[in-house]
Amino acid sequence: MTGDISSAEDLIEVREKVVQEWGRLDTLHIISGVPSTQTIYQATGLDMVPTISDRSTSSRSPSVATPARTHKFVTGGERDVSGDERSLPENDALKELEEEGMRLAAINMNGVVLSVGCFLPLLSSTSPSPLIHHLSSVAALVPAPTRMLYSATKTAGLAAFKTCAVECARDGGKGSGVRFLAVCPGTIDTGFREKSTSAMKKGGKKDPLADAQSEKVGKVLSVQDTVDSIIYHASLPPKSSPLVLYLPIPIPFLRDLLKIQLPFIKVPPKNIVVLPEWPYKMGWWVDATWLRGIVERMGRNKYGLV
């Protein structure tokens, strides 16, 4: 059956069907999303053109001055900036931006919250080992150029999911017993980006700027690799298990053979999984430090904003 994840009525209908057919629910997968592949300039219908201003900036001496670099903004991608008037976003462009933001928020954020709220009691009351898996995105962890609205709404959805995990702790006197797992992949080899508003305006074609150099930073994931990772992490025991250290060996057989298990150190299964770990997990950590400029440059470089 089909339904709208942002509709409470549709979710309840799905839940009733699950109860009718199975009488229980062990695992809920929240796999939904709507893309947006525009920069803030594209979204507001502007093009930024560097210019040299008559104003000057002085260094240490008034006699040493250099022209100030400013920008003019023009509409429709026109490069004729001979006039003195600066273009500003029009009402229609801002209304389109507002509507697209609400459309993405309905799926990427509200859909997650509604799904958890609708199915959590059923999971908690009918399954001996309940799990909610949310397929999020690396864009929810690291600012992604040309993904302004997508990144914002995916971040909100992930934050809501993590908050629910804290509120509904798996253990404890008031714990729900439900395990929460968020998987945050990079680019997956699908036609997902062709569904963005900017792509649909071009007949379902990928946005060339958003797609520029997409393989330059981080590999493109196959659907099968993503599914395999979800199944692996979802099938791990919910309780803490001995810490396992893997040597940096590229051959899986040798890596598993030479793994080191520390039974005296117990660790719970991951609640957030980043795919692929390199470079995105490192970028997630670095972005919270004073070295975040490195991540920002990598992002601009990946999407051709240099």
CATH code for residues 8-48+89-239+270-302: 3.40.50.720
140 residue type, one letter: A
Q: Please tell me the distance from the alpha carbon of residue 103 to that of residue 43, in angstroms, as a whole number.
A: 14
**pLDDT per position as a tens digit, 72-115:** 677 654 444 444 455 788 889 899 999 999 999 999 999 999 99
Q: Please tell me the distance from the alpha carbon of residue 78 to that of residue 202, in angstroms, as a whole number.
A: 19
pTM for the model stands at 0.80
Yes or no: say if 144 and 210 are a contact pair by the CB < 8 Å rule: no
Q: How far apart are the first and last CA of the chain?
A: 45
Average pLDDT, the chain: 82
**pLDDT per position as a tens digit, 247-306:** 777 676 787 788 888 888 888 889 999 998 878 888 888 888 888 888 888 888 877 776
- Predicted local distance difference test score (pLDDT) of residue 69: 57
Cα Rg of the chain, angstroms: 24
Yes or no: say if 214 and 220 are a contact pair by the CB < 8 Å rule: yes
Which residue is listed with tokens 């399954």? 127
Instruction: State how beta strands 27-30 and 260-267 pair.
Output: unpaired
